[in-house]
Structure 1
Amino acid sequence: MVKPKLHFQRFEFKYYLPKNTADKLIPTLLNYMNWDSYIQNTGRDYYEVNSLYFDTYNFDCFWDKEAGVSNRKKLRFRFYGHDLLPETPVFLEIKQKNNVLVTKDRVKLKMSDCVNENLDSALMSNYGNNNDKFLDSLFLFKNTNFLKPKLYISYKRKALVGKHDDRFRVTFDYDIKTKLSSDIKDGTSSLKDVYFDGVVLELKYNNILPSWFHGIIQSYQLDRIAYSKYCNSLRMCLPNLDDNNYSLR
């Protein structure tokens, strides 16, 4: 019996800042934080994140975000690095956001499982005997909304964790690139820059924001934003999306 790889709830806040500000901020954070274990094992100060986002024919997930729907979901494939081998680990994730509270569930698959016609059978083969409500909710969300892969996003991530609480994370996402795609094996060719010199800082924690970080926010004049990589990337690829094709359900 295979269990879902991950389930968690946490608070998430985002800040957008120029890359030169991020370069100054990271040494300050390292007084209180360490590079996360994945970065420590790679020998580099970043790793590559690749995602293929699902949406409906009319991009309802996109419009939910644009309309400010407080309780919304996204479905995506995610893998790390640049290997596109059949055995490359890929995670299928449902990310649900209710205001600032984020819930994420994900299951681990192989790259070869993620071809559209193979996906449902691979999920049943790997997780169908679990009697797990997550698989039911995944099929319900994906199949009743006719979700299909739509948009590929790739970026580099620098990630730090608190020295005294490794559930407190700060990530810096940069070199964000995108393209329309329905195939996870499409790779990173022909990608468009979303923000050439910008960095998205994400603050992730479970309970209370450390007091020292409040000082960081004030010192660097960080302003929270409602930033969505998916929405900004889709706008880059489809600049003429019709704002009038959506109504709240």
Structure 2
Amino acid sequence: MKNQMVFQRYELKYVMTRRQQEAILAAMEPYMVPDEYSHSSIRNLYLDTPDFRLIRRSLERPVYKEKLRIRSYGPAGMEDPVYVELKKKYRSVVYKRRLSLPQLAALDCVDGFQLWPHTQIGRELAYTMEFYRNLAPMVFLSYERDSYRGMEDEQFRVTFDSEIRYRRQMLTLDTDTRGTAILPDDRVLMEVKAAGSLPLWMVHILSELRLFKTSFSKYGAAYQSMILAHQEGDRKYA
């Protein structure tokens, strides 16, 4: 999946306890296997305007929304390849397009010091940067991910994200993953990614565990945490 550059799929999210995760893993065993990159330490730099225009609009739950980020799978030095991703969502369908560049080149493209590659995705990224004009890395967000794929349908994927943390400082992908936790230690975010409907066995285990999909956004949760911390700081010094 790391080498795939274009995605179109449904992405359903569920927040659960570790015990519920164990039950789902047991139910998955006859149907799914760890994918090629079964465990990843994912690091992201989310691009936004100084007033957080993209994430504020996303939290309003519009019919169409988009996010822009730079991602690595583990620590990445300035010469190491990273992914620049444009993620769009329209009527519950997720469209993701990305290209790979050395981290320094990606940051230079964002800053306007270097032209985006002359490809379709490069042109889409250039248009998005021009449309919003003052996009820049605003939040570092990391998490540990375990990934599984279907035995029969390799496009059906399930991922579990834990240790989700964010910070506003040290906005590069080569630093450690220290930051503010978004979920309690005993909670996990599961994402189910499918081109169509879910298999019946997955529907049954979700129903048995009384798990319901949520609109949880990791970047959105980080932004809301930042707002809350700012409000608490204002009250402290009022």
How high is the TM-score relative to the length of structure 2?
Answer: 0.87
Which of 183, 188, 192 does residue 199 from structure 1 map onto? 188
- In the alignment, what sits opposite 1:234? 223
Q: CA deviation at 1:144?
A: 2.4
SS of the residue aligned with 1:154? strand
* 1:112 aligned counterpart, secondary structure: helix
Asked if the contact 2:165–2:177 (Cα under 8 Å) also holds between the matched residues in 1, the reply is no
Question: Aligned to 2:138, which of 135, 145, 150?
Answer: 150
The residue correspondences of 1:90-105 to structure 2 (distance < 5 A) are: 90-105=82-97
Match of 1:20 in 2: 19
Is residue 67 of structure 1 aligned with residue 66 of structure 2?
A: no
Post-superposition CA distance 1:44-100 (Å, at most 9, x none)? xx2211111011121111111221112010000000012x32332200000000131
> Are 1:113 and 1:119, in contact at CA under 8 Å, matched by a contact in 2?
no
Q: CA deviation at 1:177?
A: 0.7
How many correspondences in the alignment?
A: 227
Equivalent residue number for residue 157 of structure 2: 169
Tell me which amino acid in the other structure corresponds to 2:87: K
Q: Measure how far apart 1:19 and its partner are.
A: 2.1
Structure 2 CA distance for aligned equivalents of residues 225 and 109 of structure 1 = 33
Is the Cα–Cα contact under 8 Å of residues 176 and 195 in structure 1 kept in the other structure? yes
Q: Using the alignment, how far apart are the partners of 1:207 and 1:120 within structure 2?
A: 39
CA 1:25–1:185 in 2, change beyond 3 Å: closer, same or farther? Answer: closer
Number of the residue aligned with 1:8: 7
Question: Take 2:22 and 2:202, find their aligned partners in 1: how far apart are those partners?
Answer: 17
- Distance, in Å, in 2 between the alignment partners of 1:110 and 1:187 is 16
Give the superposition deviation at 1:212.
1.8
Is this contact kept in 1: 2:166–2:180, CA < 8 A? yes
Specify the SS of the correspondent of 2:124. Answer: helix
- Whether 1:57 aligns to 2:50 is yes
Deviation of residue 122 (structure 1)? Answer: 4.8
- CA deviations over 1:174-226 (Å, ceiling 9, x no partner): 11011014732462354111112211110101123212211111122111111
Q: Once structures 1 and 2 are overlaid, which stretch shifts more, 152-161 or 26-35?
A: 26-35
TM-score by length of 1: 0.83
What secondary structure is seen at the aligned counterpart in 2 of 1:226?
Answer: coil
Q: Which ranges in structure 1 are unaligned for 5 or more consecutive residues?
A: 40-45, 243-249
What's 2:123 paired with?
136
Range moving further from structure 2, 4-13 or 213-222: 4-13
Does structure 1 retain, via aligned residues, the 8 Å contact 2:81–2:103?
yes
Which shifted more, 221-230 or 188-197?
188-197
Alpha-carbon spacing, 1:241–1:105, altered in 2? closer, same or farther (3 Å): farther
* In structure 2, C-alpha distance between the alignment counterparts of 1:198 and 1:10, rounded to whole Å: 25
Contact 2:166 2:179 (8 Å CA) reproduced: yes
Structure 1 residue runs of 4 or more that deviate by more than 4 Å after TM superposition: 116-123
What residue number does 1:213 align with? Answer: 202
